[in-house]
Amino acid sequence: EQAKVGSGIEALKLSQLTPDQAGNYTCSVTNALGTDSIFYAVKIQVPPQAPILQVAQVYYDSLRLSWTLENDGGSRVKGDFLHPI
């Protein structure tokens, strides 16, 4: 998207971003003496999706569970917790 602004201090607010809007953004200014630009790399992070839980093995008095995480939300998951319900 482009935003045209006047002179002075200006701002562009990007709200309710989604992961597909991540990427490189450019802000350029132009006057009679020329043009200058700055580039911003925007990274969108969201909560991770719930893991896929599977019963890996069943024993006489216990079982072994395994799980996989398909989407970490753009940030490394620091830990997994399994809570009884």
Q: Which residue has the tokens 């896929």?
A: 52
Q: What is the tens place of the pLDDT at every residue in 7-61?
A: 666 777 778 888 888 999 998 888 899 999 999 999 888 888 888 889 999 999 9
Residues near 69 by beta carbon (within 8 Å), at least 6 away in sequence: 48, 49, 51, 52, 77, 80
Count the alpha carbons within 13 Å of 85 in the hemisphere toward its beta carbon.
2
Q: Could you tell me the two tokens for 64?
A: 């072994």
Beta strands in the chain (DSSP E): 23-31, 34-42, 52-58, 63-68
- Rounded to whole angstroms, how far apart are CA atoms 13 and 26? 14
Look up residue 73 and give its DSSP letter. T
pTM: 0.51
